[in-house]
Structure 1
Amino acid sequence: MNLRVLVVDDTIMYRKVVGDILAEMPGVEVVGTANNGKIALTRIASLKPDLITLDVEMPIMNGLETLEEIQKTYPDVGVIMLSTLTKRGSEITMRALELGAFDFITKPDAQVMQENVQLLRSALGPRIKVYAKRMELRALLKQRPRPVGAPAPAPAAPAVLASSRRMGKSKAVAIGISTGGPNALTKMLPQLPKLGVPIFVVQHMPPVFTKSLAESLDAKCQYEVREAENNEIVRPDVIYIAPGAKHMRVASGTGGAKIIQVTDDPPENNCKPAVDYMFRSVAREYGALSTGVIMTGMGGDGTLGLKVLKSFGAVTIGQDEESCVVYGMPKMAVEAGVVDVVSPLQMIASEIIRTVR
């Protein structure tokens, strides 16, 4: 069965370009277009799309307002936001992701149109494939019968000591996350009380967007949340978000202090910032007294870094398949045998607390 997609954008050029790119993809059917959110809502009922590409900034009814209505009336319809690389665009997109949009892509601004088309194609392709697989999985789960009287799934296993080298509680927490991240972090991080330890987060995102993510989370969390800056001293009860298009690592400063280093080293796993890059530095600086967490996201970034953390004796936690938007990064880590505890999203904060207190 084809993936049915509705393209919504107030710019005729983008409606055509996005529609043409999608139409090239095997198993994808573009069922219609709309030039604003109000028209899009009237067409969802008749066209029955599985997925909508939704422009953030439109007249009459913008992307965020449209998404809120879609979530209320058509909760099974996925949404990929298209945003400009501006502060306003990033703030609206961040709110959309927190509300549950599947993912977002930025509208390219290259001078040559063909280059823009190629950039859009490269961005849309993987997301469409992942969403199609997610739909297949959801359909299979719905079909799978549960025996009458079957017990509910067992709660996540208690956190375990990763090795005999673990002689105390964690002094730092490191989190790697990608697709579905803003929504998951918005649910998980506010559950954490001030634990007296720093938390380092790599969320795959471009510049500007990571700043908006930090500002949004800061308003919701007991922790201070900030986008990391080069050479700043690491403080307890602060969550550091890696800046977009840069790597973040922890290093030793003067007088025994830890510092953040923001670098322009090459991408790893086609990612910048990369989870592996940050995890390795946390392993080096905190060793067994650290907790590594891998959460929703496509690809395999984080698995090798978790392996390093685990080799030092750190406790490692992975998000379970059912609560992931995309079960990619945690899946690879679990299959590699580098995850101590597999936990649903709603229990990850509790698991982190157990490793620190």
Structure 2
Amino acid sequence: MAIRVLVVDDSSFFRRRLTEIIAADPEMVVAGTANNGREAVEKALELKPDVITMDVEMPVMDGIQAVREILKTQRIPILMFSSLTHNGAKATLDALEAGATDFLPKKFEDIARDKADAIDLLRQRIKAVAKRRLSVKPATPAVTPPAPISRPVAAPIARTPASRAELLRTVDRLDSSESLDRPFKPTGKQYKIVAIGTSTGGPVALQTIITALPANFPLPILLVQHMPAAFTGAFAARLNTLAKIEVKEAADGDVLRPGVAYLAPGGKQMLLEGSETHCKIRIKEDDSPRITFKPSVDITFGSTAKVFQDKVLAVVLTGMGSDGRDGSRLLKQFGSRIWAQDEASSVVYGMPQAVTAAGLTDVEVGLADVASKLISEVGHG
């Protein structure tokens, strides 16, 4: 059955353009349109769409209030469209906090270099968030979705093992795994840094985790969120006002300090330079067409592995695609540990699934449990 989309925007041109893009995909259909937030609330109740695309700034009722009103009675994934300005960033973050699922820039050229790629990404994003509706019952929206108790995840057995030795290693891993019904048990491993990567659904996930950490959290934290350059400064500032630890947008030359979270700036790459005892952040411009994401979880994870080797605790959260898988593989080769968010609490189970399917996940954890498990695993000062 085709995904039914409600398009909400006060611009008739944008509504028409978005309708054309959606209707041209055989897997989607436009169920209706609305030109303000109040009409969106009424159409959502009447049409019960699978996904809503929502403008932030509209007359009568803005997109933020419309999100709140819609989610009081229905659990519908809402994809926000926003301008890449400081005010647009703040409003979009407010919408995400109100319960919106994800956001995209209103100008398609800000989504991708090529217009066709931008349209394809838009369609992919709508389809990805639509899947979330199928697994969530209607409820009053909450910042932190319920999540099952975390559990260790063993690497999957290949259908045709490459060798007898590989099969034995897999069996050993399975035999040594904790029982699924046992509580989380810290490994006692020594860490020097925590690295977290995420995309779709990440802003709320990061807020859930970072605001639950104590002021004396003993390690520096690297945060990589797929987000435009205009948004990362505002997002870091918001987290800093809510969290007990310090949160800042990473700057070139920053020296890593315990209890500080460094958010990778949008449009650039965040790397590390130095040694375990004195490490600096390097922010690099990246014009490589081979690297899709700027910032990229893979690049930051890979750089972190080279400096800290086996002393990294990396966490891959909700997101579309597989960014983080290759970086996690390098971290595992050095002996570091990888946690992945579970499917039940992920907005889009793409990035965590890619890591887990590759056999790289040491622990699978629900969003509501990440902070407490981090504190337990690394200590709290």
Shared fold, TM over 0.5: yes
Secondary structure of the structure 2 residue equivalent to 1:58? coil
Structure 1 residues 189 and 313: CA distance shift in structure 2, 3 A: same
Shift of the alpha carbon at 1:116? 9.3
Q: How high is the sequence identity, in percent, across the aligned residues? A: 41
- After superposition, the C-alpha distances for 1:89-135 in whole angstroms (9 at most, x for unaligned) are 01111121223212111011769xxx996465233111122134434
Q: 1:210 aligns with which of 215, 229, 232?
A: 232
State the SS of the aligned residue for 2:229: coil
State the TM-score, normalizing by the size of structure 1: 0.87
The aligned amino acid for 1:60 is V
Does residue 241 (structure 1) correspond to residue 236 (structure 2)? The answer is no
**CA distance in structure 2 between the aligned counterparts of 1:93 and 1:29, rounded to whole angstroms:** 25
Q: d(CA) in 2 for partners of 1:353 and 1:190?
A: 12
Paired residue type of 1:39: E
Q: 1:135 to 1:44 in 2, by over 3 A?
A: closer
Mapped partners of 1:231, 1:54: distance in 2: 39
Aligned counterparts of 1:250 and 1:153: Cα–Cα separation in 2:
34
Q: Residue 91 of structure 1 aligns with which residue?
A: 90
Residues of 2 paired with 1:267 and 1:187: CA distance?
A: 33
| Residue 73 of structure 1, CA deviation | 2.2
Alpha-carbon distance between aligned partners in 2 of 1:315 and 1:2, rounded to the nearest angstrom: 40
Question: Take 2:192 and 2:290, find their aligned partners in 1: how far apart are those partners?
Answer: 26
Q: CA deviation at 1:153?
A: 6.7
- Distance across 1 between alignment mates of 2:364 and 2:109: 42
Equivalent of 1:327, from 349, 372, 377? Answer: 349
Question: 1:32-72: CA deviations, max 9, x gaps?
Answer: 11111011112222222121110011122111111111111
Q: Residue 90 of structure 1 aligns to a residue in which SS?
A: helix
Report the equivalent of 2:180. none
Deviations 1:305-336 (A, max 9, x none): 11111221212111111110011111111111
Q: 1:290 aligns with which of 307, 312, 326?
A: 312
Q: Distance in 1 between matches of 2:186 and 2:350?
A: 23
Question: Quick check: 2:8–2:52 contact (8 Å CA) kept in 1?
Answer: yes
Matched, 1:19 2:19: yes
5 Å matches for 1:272-311?
272-311=294-333
Q: Is the 8 A contact 1:315 1:355 kept in 2?
A: no
Offset at 1:159? 5.4
AA at the equivalent of 2:92: T
Cα distance 1:290–1:35, how it changes in 2: closer, same or farther (>3 A)? same
| 1:343 corresponding residue in structure 2 | 365
The alignment of Structure 1 onto Structure 2 pairs a total of residues equal to 335
**Map of 1:156 onto structure 2:** 151
**Where in structure 2 are the equivalents of 1:87-166 lying within 5 Å?**
87-108=86-107, 118=116, 121-136=119-134, 155-157=150-152, 158=184, 161=187
Aligned to 1:185: 206
- Give 5+ residue unaligned stretches, structure 1: 140-151, 162-166
- Cα 1:188–1:267 change in 2 (3 A) is farther
**Amino acid paired to 2:126:** I
**Aligned pair in 2 of structure 1 residues 9, 342: CA closer, same or farther (>3 Å)?**
same
Residues 210-263 of structure 1, C-alpha deviation per residue, up to 9 Å, x if partnerless?
Answer: 11211111111111111101112122111000000100011117x952111001
Q: Is the 8 A contact 1:268 1:277 kept in 2?
A: no
Instruction: Measure how far apart 1:196 and its partner are.
Output: 2.1
Alignment CA distance shift 1:153-1:279 (3 Å): closer
**What is the CA deviation profile of residues 180-205 of structure 1, one whole-angstrom value per residue up to 9, with x for unaligned ones?**
00111111211111312110010011
Aligned ranges 1:1-16 → 2 under 5 Å: 1-16=1-16
Match of 1:169 in 2: 190
Instruction: Note the alpha carbon deviations across 1:5-54, whole angstroms, 9 max, x for none.
Output: 11111111101001111111112121211111011112222222121110
Contact 2:342 2:367 in 1 (8 A): yes
- Letter aligned with residue 196 of structure 1: P
- Structure-2 separation of matches of 1:325 and 1:172: 26
Matched, 1:261 2:282: yes
**Residues 245 and 259 in structure 2, CA contact (< 8 A), matched pair in contact too:** yes
Q: Could you say if the C-alpha distance between residues 155 and 34 of structure 1 is closer, same or farther in structure 2, counting changes exceeding 3 Å? A: closer
Contact 2:272 2:279 (8 Å CA) reproduced: yes
The 4+ residue runs of structure 1 with deviation greater than 2 A are: 115-120, 131-139, 152-161, 265-269
Structure 1 residues 154 and 40 mapped into 2: Cα distance closer, same or farther (>3 Å)?
Answer: closer
Q: Is the contact made by 1:160 and 1:315 (CA closer than 8 Å) also made in structure 2?
A: no
Tell me how far apart the structure 1 counterparts of residues 261 and 15 of structure 2 sit (CA, whole Å): 39
Q: C-alpha root-mean-square deviation of aligned residues, in Å?
A: 2.4
Show the counterpart of 2:55. 55
Equivalence for 2:172: none
| 8 Å CA contact 1:159, 1:340 repeated in 2 | no
* Cα distance in structure 2, aligned partners of 1:283 and 1:159: 24
TM-score normalized by the length of structure 2? 0.82
1:147 alignment counterpart: none
Change (3 A) 1:49 1:310: same
Judge conservation of contact 1:4–1:50 (CA < 8 Å) in 2. yes
Measured in 2, the distance between the counterparts of 1:337 and 1:109 equals 36
Amino acid at match of 1:66: A
Q: 1:148 — aligned with what?
A: none
What is the CA distance between 1:268 and its match in structure 2? Answer: 5.7
